[in-house]
Amino acid sequence: GVSPERFDRIEQMINNLLSKFDYLEHHVEHELVSVDDHVRVTLDKLSKQEQNSEKRIEQLEKQVLQNVESSLSDRIANLEAAMREAVQKRIKTAEQNTMDNISATVADKLKSVSSSSWTKPFIFLLFVDVIAFYLVYKWYMKFKKDHL
């Protein structure tokens, strides 16, 4: 056997170990609660930061989009103005070339036609007009006599 003194010492050691175990268990519970609270607070902070970050990202996206739209609008307006100027210059150049060609052609024709040569076709056309007028007059008189 075990002597009562030895049994008391073993019992006292076991009680001592159980009290240390209880203390340790209690301490671990407090630490776990503390860790749980800390994790919860950290998660709340992270959630708030995430929301703030998302809002800031949305603001930045809107700002970037506005800058891009503004830049594109300016570029389009500049391109339209440049195109308009280029087209107007080409039209003006084409018009000037056409007018120069017409002027040159008319001047050449006027130089090639002598001043007396226009009278012959004019007299011929006048003669044809007089004959046509006379024939129409005769036809009208005949038509008038037939219907009266």
- Which has the higher per-residue pLDDT, 76 or 120? 76
Could you read off the pLDDT of 45-95 as tens digits, one per residue? 999 999 999 999 999 999 999 999 999 999 999 999 999 999 999 999 998
Determine what percent of the chain is predicted with pLDDT higher than 70: 93
Distance, CA of 112 to CA of 122 (rounded, Å): 17
Looking at residue 22, what is its pLDDT?
95
∠ CA 93-94-99, rounded to 5°: 100
| pLDDT higher than 60, residue 115 | no
Distance, CA of 10 to CA of 2 (rounded, Å): 10
Looking at residue 77, what is its pLDDT?
92
Lowest mean per-residue pLDDT among 5-9, 94-98, 109-113, 138-142: 109-113
| pLDDT higher than 60, residue 128 | yes
∠ CA 135-138-140, rounded to 5°: 110
| pLDDT higher than 80, residue 2 | no
Looking at residue 146, what is its pLDDT?
76
Task: Give the CA-trace dihedral at 33, 38, 41, 45, to 10 degrees.
Answer: -160
Mean pLDDT of the chain: 89
Band of residue 120 on the pLDDT scale cut at 50, 70, 90? confident
Distance, CA of 11 to CA of 2 (rounded, Å): 12
Distance, CA of 133 to CA of 139 (rounded, Å): 10
Enter the pTM of the model: 0.39
Beta strands in 3-145 (DSSP E): none
